[in-house]
Chains A and B, each alone.
Chain A
Amino acid sequence: MHGVEDTIGGRTSEREPEQDPTPESLFRQQYVRLSRTAMLLVDSPQLAEEIVQDAFAELVARWDRVDHAKAIPYLYRSVVNGGRASLRRLRTARAHVPDTPGPGLNAESELLRRARDEQIRAAVMKLPRRQRQVIVLRFFSDLSLSDVAEALNIRPTAVAVATQHALRTLRSVGQEFL
């Protein structure tokens, strides 16, 4: 499925919204990143996959009523809401299990870098829900402050405050890897 990944892999194209997007163009631009965002938010690949599918299904179903200029925050909002509902249902915050390093990662430096990235990921996953959401949406999904606010249905100042709290927490727990 490299075609899709290659198509939307460039960060620049993902961050620049289209003038007149369509569900298909949004899929090409956002699908992979949205899926990985969902995996960061719910820490369950199966659930993340389903949430993204639901998000696109909802977008298509309501396309006539969605403000196309805000379609991307709409998608992320669907994912956030889907993840929140799923977590509430499951009543669990699963401990992060780092991936097993794949073959070919033989270099010690690469292993160390990989381990450090996993530690960052694990630290983010352990943040309180709201802080985790703002960190993922801002630094992984690369949404603007206003788009994060739109996706989370909170004010931009609340996003900024939650971001500062999250960064402070990460600094305190991640001195050795940040």
Chain B
Amino acid sequence: MNEIEDRIRTGLHTSSRDRVPPSGWANSLDELLGRTKPARASRGSLRWTVPVIAAAATVLAVIPIWLVTQNRDTSPAGPVAVTFSVKDGRVSLDGLSFPVPAGWTAIVTAGTGPSTTVCVSPTQPSGAGDCDGVTVTAAAPTVSGSFQPIPDPSTHTADACRWVMLLGQNAVGGRAAIQYSIACSPNGQKKLFWYLTDGSLVVSTPPAAHAAEAAQIVDGLDLSEWQIQQGADAVEVTSAPMSSS
């Protein structure tokens, strides 16, 4: 050991001799580990202060941008304006086309939201409430070409009307569909439903009425120009078709 190293050693030891931790010496390892010191808290807060401030600044910066974007954007994911017309005995709805039975009229009864409802009725529809005819509910296309599936009526019917009977799995307008009836008792009056399995279209009748006209509309559906393309199946058929009674 040379002299300078010895001087450094002595100097460091002597100058450190009276230095004591702010909390004093711990008497045991348990005491040391059990201590919660202000210094520890301040270091912990230092550790997280910068990330927290950065995160808050990011959120504060992003929120106005998001708000501006939301205001500027004319709902690219939302439905576009409905194009509806009745011409030459056929309804045209966003490119979807179906026949109107002779002497019947068709109006849009619900045109906002993710779907459009058309009431095809032998009487002048009131435009509100239940449709006294055949109801055609079509998903509204969005700018991006997607759509929000219409809930399957068989799984969204009232608890008292759970008598659902699968009548067939036949294509409608060239797209996969199921046909079923719903009644509120085993021998109750049945509503008929045609439901595209991607949830894009539902055709339904009132209880025990207008089955023939509904079939005429379904048979005459033309989906070739419809703005909504075939989507993924929204229902899975788990029972075999039964004969209608």
| A interface, CB within 8 angstroms of B | 1, 3-5, 23-24, 27, 31-32, 35-36, 39-40, 45-50, 52-53, 56-57, 60, 86, 89, 99, 102, 113-114, 116-121, 124, 135-136, 139-140, 167, 170-171, 177-178
Contact = CB atoms under 8 A, between A and B. Distances in A.
Contacts, number: 115
Contact of A47 (B7, B20, B27, B43): B43
B35 interface: yes
Contacts of B21: 35, 45, 48-49, 52
A171 B5 CA distance: 10
Interface stretch (B9-17, B118-126, B198-206): B9-17
Interface of B: 4-5, 7-16, 18-29, 32-33, 35, 37-40, 42-43, 46-47
Describe B's contact surface by its main secondary structure.
helix
Contact of B26 (A31, A40, A177): A31
Contact of A167 (B4, B11, B33): B4
13 contacts: A27-B29, A31-B32, A45-B22, A49-B22, A49-B23, A49-B37, A52-B32, A117-B11, A117-B12, A120-B11, A121-B12, A124-B12, A135-B8
A120 B27 contact: no
B32 A4 contact: no
B40 A53 contact: yes
Contacts of A46: 22, 37-39, 42
A156 to B, nearest CB: 17
Nearest to B4: A178
A120 B7 contact: yes
B32 A53 contact: yes
A124 B202 CA distance: 84
Contacts of B20: 45
B11 A27 contact: no
A3 B26 CA distance: 10
Which of A1, A119, A135, A139 has the most chain B CB atoms closer than 10 A to its own CB?
A139
Contacts of B14: 113-114, 117
